[in-house]
Amino acid sequence: MKRQGRNDPLMSISKARLYEEVLQAMSECVFILKKSGEVTALNNNFEKILGIPSNIENESSFAELQYVREDGSPLPHSQLPGVLTLEHGTSFHNVVVGINNYKKEMKWVSIDSTPLKLSKNDEKTALVRISDITEQKKMENGMIQAREEAEKANMAKSDFLSKMSHELRTPLNGILGFAQLLELEESLNETQRDFVQEILKGGSHLLNLINEILDLSRIETGKLKVSIDEVHLLTLIDECINIVQPLAAKKKVSIHKQLSQSQDTLVLADPIRLKQILLNLLDNAIKYNKEGGSVTIFCHLEGNEQLVHIIDTGVGISVEEYQKVFVPFYRIQSTKEEGTGIGLSLVKQLVHLMDGEISVTSTKGKGSDFSFTLPLAADFQAVMRWDEEVEPPAGKGERAAHYCLLYIEDNESNLNLVSSIMKSQPSYTLLSAHTGKEGLELAAKEKVDLILLDLNLPDLDGYEVFNLLKENEKTKDTAVIAVSANAMPEDIQHTLNKGFNNYITKPINVKEFLTVVGETLNSTIEHHIPDYKILSTGPYGEEAVSAKTLQLSLHELKTLKENNYKAAIAMHYTGNDWSISQIEGLKNTFKKMGITVTAVTDAGFNWEKQIADIESILADKPDILISIPVDPVMTAGVYQKAAQAGVKLVFMDNIPKGFQYGKDYVSVISADNYGNGIESAHIMAEQLGGKGKIGIIYHEADFFATKQRTEAFEKTIKEHYKDIQIVDRIGITGPDEGEKVAAVMFSKHRDLNGLFVVWDVPAEGALKAAHKAGRTKLVITTIDLGRDTALEIAQDGLIKGVGAQLPYQQGVAEAIIAGCALLGKQAPPYVAVPALKVTKENVLDAWKWVYNKNGQQTILRQ
């Protein structure tokens, strides 16, 4: 803009007039406030905005008005911006104030006030500008109110839907359940069979619809949460194809799969919700196809994303309707097929919840291509080791026993249904109770194996009943399955977290019901261990059976309890966390099995003491001896004596020299020592950045467990880390030699970067030696998570990580194996508990896994 010079016509007008014109033209009310209380109005907007005549001269008129803040609370006159400016000399901008003006109208204004220095005697003044924002405020308030009302309505809607779904599910329970029972009835004729099929078809359709409406409303209110996991995409696609195959066959539609990549990818998704997405899209692709048409599922990678296309040869969709089909309840007008218009909107929301996008392209009359993206798992190839399934041991799963079940339920129709199901199952007897109180009394009086507990009882809350069952000595070990119409995943998880053994949703699906009841009865002892592949092999090279797969059925437990067996535990040493925790696992599990532990001995690493311990144990004639030999050669004789006396021998970690599986002993149970050696090597390499010189302190004794650790460590370093050099190996014969041997290693190799020590106790000795030698940059890795080692890892000391054993779980496994032996069942020769990599990042969580206890206090107390 060009600045006007002296010739500017405006300049010929007097300044005072010019300012007066400008001030009057302003939409704001402008005035000057003096400390003395005088007010000089600069324009005529006073009356318009404040309802005060413009010729006011005193500020006291303002004090008579009422002011409110934006939140509706009263604002005292002394807090008005102009007054504050006079007092503190500070400026204020856009202060929103509500004024109940002289005309009793509510006006919303925005106030600016700035200090001015006008008079010589330094009297404070403030220039105040007030703009009327009443209209703007009205609009804003209207919008807020509308939004609040919409939110309220939406909440009410989802609340209504969730209640309705519950109400609908309960009678559906009866309809579907009895129809399923009728379906099993052999005496039905063809027509009756058709009728039953119609009821089942209609009922399932209704159930699907209720579930979809519920999902949609829960997404809208942000209540539906997905739990993202690594999912094998192709496996899931195959599963879905199998499910829709009958529908496709009916319509003579063929389904094809096309992959641009050679292997199965791992995507990040919620497996249940991804299945729901695929099934919905496949269902549409078949439903809106023509007879004899085809559906192709095409998968390809694009950057970090996986794209999945579901392509059909059906009726197609016009461009204008590409977006509309994703709107809830929208259906293309010409559509003849039955439907609700919910499916695609739900699919879109679910894809978004998994950080993906969905779109469609189509040609009318030729077909459509619905495609969506999913994020890829960070490294979808590096899952081999943990992913392979462990073979379950042979001889598991037979279930011929007789069980007594108690169903606590007030709804007569549900009770009838379950009792009808049970009538077809000769191995179950069913007791029933209509109230929580009645159920508690019955459970305490009768010998009940399993309780089915409705969570909505008329007298007591289902959770209250559960707590009372757990408080009572007579019922505390009885398995409890929750039965509820509430199918929300987070509620199911919440219930399971409380300790319920399982959860069954209504309407009851007969097959699923029987499976869950059967599984619960068969899994009486819980293992909190992961399903990892075991790499260690047994003393004779036998393949490992994972401890995770061991089970005793309820019937087997009962048999064991009836026999009052006795067990003894002969340890090499009981003074470390590993032994204490393992003994605890053994004792707790034996207690569940009704087996009395008559002795726990500590040989203090002395084989002569161990022989004496076992001699005295044998005098008490135990049925079971669980033991770890101090010296596999020197103690072999006393174990032989025990075996000949008919005592069943279960070994931890090692067997006596020359012992034969099946003849001399039942089984040997250890950690995955090989796997732990591998973990320890990886931690070492990560800490050294893949290069350096390292030493190894190994165990000289002939212990297959400790040998495998060192072997795995060395092999992993040699095969994977070419720039890490193993410069020395020194053996120890006992845990106390760690410090001495490490000191030798340090004096021989001044440039040593890392040290592997075969277990944690000698590693702690090596740590002392490192401190004495002033080695501040060394990396030590080892095996076993003892308390001091955990503390050193947590404090970022020289010990950087371990491959840990899970001693508590090892104890549980040993007790179960002992139970198998007492029942005359053959136990596998070698059982192992999976390896666990522990570093600073997961040391607290790991502690929980390892010792079955919270480590927070133990580790952080120091």
Nearer to ligand ADP, 47 or 321 (CB): 321
Q: Cβ 207 to ligand ADP, closest distance in Å?
A: 15
- Evaluated on CA atoms 372, 373, 377, 383, the torsion sign reads positive
Coil, strand, or helix at residue 324?
helix
Instruction: Quote the least distance from Cβ 212 to ligand ADP, whole Å.
Output: 9
Q: Tell me whether residue 178 or residue 322 sits nearer to ligand ADP (CB atom).
A: 322
Q: Smallest distance, Å, CB 318 to ligand ADP?
A: 10
H-type helices in 269-342, by residue range? 271-287
Shortest Å distance, C-beta 808 to ligand ADP = 50
Residues 6 or more apart whose CB falls under 8 angstroms from that of 456 comprise 410, 462, 484, 485
For 726, the 3-state DSSP assignment is strand
Q: Which of 317, 517, 535, 626 binds ligand ADP (CB under 6 A)?
A: 317
CB of 369 or CB of 788, closer to ligand ADP: 369
- Find the shortest distance in angstroms from Cβ 556 to ligand ADP: 50
> Minimal distance in Å, beta carbon 857 to ligand ADP?
54
Distance from C-alpha of 675 to C-alpha of 836, rounded to nearest angstrom? 8
Binding of residue 36 to ligand ADP (CB under 6 A): no
Q: Give the shortest CB-216-to-ligand ADP separation in angstroms.
A: 10
Q: Which residue is nearest to ligand ADP (CB)?
A: 339
* Window 39 to 98, contacts with ligand ADP (CB under 6 A): none
CB atoms within 10 A of CB 205: 12
339-398 residues in contact with ligand ADP (CB under 6 A) are 339-345, 368
Q: Which of 335, 424, 564, 856 binds ligand ADP (CB under 6 A)?
A: 335
545, two tokens: 């059976």
Q: How far is the CB of 715 from ligand ADP (least distance, A)?
A: 54
- Distance from C-alpha of 729 to C-alpha of 714, rounded to nearest angstrom: 10
Q: What is the DSSP letter of 51?
A: S
Render 548-609 in DSSP notation, one character per residue.
GG----HHHHHHHHHTT-EEEEEES--SSHHHHHHHHHHHHHHHHTT-EEEEEEE-TT-HHH
Q: How far is the CB of 74 from ligand ADP (least distance, A)?
A: 53
Dist. CA 405–CA 421, nearest whole Å: 12
351 versus 597: smaller Cβ distance to ligand ADP: 351
Min dist. Cβ of residue 314 to ligand ADP (A): 5
**Among 331, 715, 787, 825, which residue sits at the site for ligand ADP (rule: CB under 6 A)?**
331
- 246-285 footprint of ligand ADP as x/- string (CB under 6 A): --------------------------------------xx
CB of 286 to ligand ADP, least distance (A): 9
The answer to whether 315 contacts ligand ADP (rule: CB under 6 A) is yes
Minimal distance, residue 851 CB to ligand ADP, in Å: 51
CA dist., res. 449 & res. 463, Å (int) = 19
Output b/e per residue, 706-727; b: 16+ Cβ within 10 A. Answer: bbbbbebbbebbeeebeebeeb
Q: Which is closer to ligand ADP, CB of 287 or CB of 707?
A: 287
DSSP string, 653-675: S---TT--BTTTBSEEEEE-HHH
Q: Which is nearer to ligand ADP, 262 or 334 (CB)?
A: 334
**Residue 314 sits in the site that holds ligand ADP (CB under 6 A):** yes
> Binding residues for ligand ADP, how many (CB under 6 A)?
20
Strands 624-627 and 92-100 come out as: unpaired
Question: Where does this chain touch ligand ADP (CB under 6 A) — which range of 135-143, 237-245, 313-321, 771-779?
Answer: 313-321
Nearer to ligand ADP, 351 or 683 (CB): 351
d(CA 818, CA 821): 5
Smallest gap, in angstroms, from Cβ of residue 329 to ligand ADP?
Answer: 8
Distance, in Å, from the CA atom of 677 to the CA atom of 707, rounded to the nearest integer, reads: 10
Q: Which residues contact 466 (CB under 8 A, 6 or more apart)?
A: 453, 480, 482, 498, 499, 500
Determine the Cα–Cα distance for residues 465 and 477; give it in Å rounded to an integer: 14
Min separation Cβ 324 and ligand ADP, Å = 8
Q: Which of 186, 182, 214 is nearest to 199 (CA)?
A: 182
**Between 12 and 329, whose beta carbon lies closer to ligand ADP?**
329
- Stretch of 308-316, 415-423, 491-499, 628-636 contacting ligand ADP, by CB under 6 A: 308-316
Tell me whether residue 369 or residue 531 sits nearer to ligand ADP (CB atom): 369
With respect to ligand ADP, which residue has the nearer C-beta, 277 or 696? 277
Do 299 and 307 contact (CB within 8 A), yes or no? yes
Pick one of 325, 799, 835, 859: the residue that binds ligand ADP (CB under 6 A). Answer: 325
Q: What is the DSSP letter of 434?
A: S
CB burial readout 112-140, b (16+ within 10 A) else e:
bbbeeeeeeeeebbbbbbbbbbbeebeee
Tell me if 332 contacts ligand ADP by CB under 6 A. yes
Residues sharing a CB contact under 8 Å with residue 619, sequence separation 6 or more, in sequence order:
none
Nearest-angstrom CA–CA distance, 238 and 257: 9
Region near ligand ADP per CB under 6 A, out of 298-306, 336-344, 348-356, 765-773: 336-344
Give whichever of 51 and 339 is closer to ligand ADP, judged by the CB atom.
339
Q: Which is nearer to ligand ADP, 285 or 433 (CB)?
A: 285
Shorter beta-carbon distance to ligand ADP: residue 348 or 555? 348
Residues 120-139, interacting with ligand ADP (CB under 6 A): none
Shortest spacing between CB 532 and ligand ADP, in angstroms: 40
The overall longest dimension of the chain from CA atoms, in Å, is: 128
Q: Which is nearer to ligand ADP, 23 or 353 (CB)?
A: 353
Element containing residue 288 per DSSP (H, E): none
Q: Give CA–CA dist 97/51, Å, rounded.
A: 15
Asked if 628 is part of the footprint of ligand ADP (rule: CB under 6 A), the reply reads no
Nearer to ligand ADP, 331 or 693 (CB): 331
Chain residues in the site for ligand ADP (CB under 6 A): 284-285, 288, 312, 314-317, 325, 331-332, 335, 339-345, 368
